[in-house]
Structures are given as C-alpha cells and as structure tokens.
A = this chain, B = another copy of it.
Amino acid sequence: MADLTQLKTEFTDLSDFLVALGDEKRQAIIIALLAENACHGLRVTDLTAVTKLSRPAVSHHLKILKQAHLIKSRSEGTRNYYYLSHDIKEIRALKQLLDHVTAIIETSGRETK
C-alpha cells in the first residue's frame, strides 16, 4: 500500500499549478510566452492582443500564473516583461505525482488487501 498521506500533500501542493494550467486563456498566454524565444519576454499589452482580453484581465491571469510559479517578470522602466520561468519545479513534481498514481493503479488488484 502506497503512502496516501504523501500523495495527499503532493496533490494539494500542485492544486494552484493544475488550476493555472486548466484555463484556456492562461494556456494561450503560456503558449505565447513559449513562442517568444524567452529572450525578452512579453508585455501585458502584447498579451491582450493574444487573448482578446482587457488589460486588467490579463494582469489577473498573470498573477495566477505567477503564484503557480510558472512565470516571472522583469521591469524595464515603465514596462514589465513576462516570461516563463526557466526551471519549473512543479513540472517535475507533477510528473512524479502522475508516476505515483499509475504505480498505485497498476499494483492494485494484485495484492489481495
């Protein structure tokens, strides 16, 4: 029997990350940031064009993505450049969680309680 307590914390720790990835508008932002060669990043105004959203709405989604540790920002004068975090540890954590789940699923049924 696998460690369900740890699995529980793995799940809750990744909640924000999963929710952040689930939204279509945020997916569009992520893809736009991936399209940029991550050199300079994109500004809020650029992303309003991509998402067809108002600037405050984009700002809101950027905050969610930031809290999920997906993106970072850099200021140059009045302009803020957003770019994908170079090393997203949540990605590794999520892959690990998925492996744990599949492991439990596959072994279940073999060991008769």
Interface size for A (C-beta < 8 A) is 38
Known interface pairs A7-B31, A19-B19. Does A102 touch B91 (Cβ–Cβ under 8 Å)?
Answer: yes
**Counting CB contacts under 8 A, is A75 at the interface?**
no
**Which residues of B sit under 8 angstroms from A31, Cβ to Cβ?**
4, 7-8, 11
**Counting CB contacts under 8 A, is A18 at the interface?**
yes
By Cβ-Cβ distance, the 4 closest A-B pairs, closest first, are A18-B22, A19-B22, A38-B108, A11-B27
Residues in chain A within 8 A of chain B (CB atoms): 2, 4, 7-8, 11-12, 14-15, 18-19, 21-24, 27, 30-31, 34-35, 37-39, 84, 86, 88, 91, 94-95, 98, 101-102, 104-105, 108-109, 111-113
